[in-house]
Amino acid sequence: MKLASILLGGNLGNRVENLTLAIQLIKENCGKIIHTSAMYETAAWGIANQPDFLNQAITIETSLSPEKLLQQLLSIENKMGRKRSVKYGARTIDLDILLFDDAIINLPNLQIPHPALTQRRFALIPLTEIAGSTIHPIEKKTIQQLLLDCKDELNVKKYSAITY
């Protein structure tokens, strides 16, 4: 069994329900959920004029290969209505493999560790919560250290659906 860290995100529809459903589908199709971060709200990255995203990181234990895991995640995105029309555009769900054990994979459709992980606080903050001491296999630094080094200034705040 291998450990994979996945970032979930979305900014269309009921964001909390979408993340919850995605986790359920990952559990059913990909492997056992080991860790789940809190949800974090972030302004859109790449294209600013769109709704804020909710992001959450999970770690799963899986028997799938990285390629099969990617196929399953893309299938889940498709089932949940993900449309790939505009890069960095609004979406119901986005599922990205951040880490897969200490694998380094560089294929046309799959790069692990995720190539933008070190530049995105919205990924590093929830990942630090559940895997802060994990060593990035290329950078040779902990996820927590990568967060401290990150130059991204996008505001990332813990999300609470409760309003007063």
Positions marked catalytic? 82, 91, 94, 96
E strand or H helix at 65, and its extent? none
Residues near 68 by beta carbon (within 8 Å), at least 6 away in sequence: none
Q: Is 76 left (phi over 0), alpha (psi -120 to 50) or beta?
A: alpha
- What's the burial of 36, exposed, middle or buried (CB within 10 Å: 0-12/13-18/19+)? middle
Tokens of 6: 């996945």
SS3 content of the chain, % helix, strand, coil (to 5): 30, 25, 40
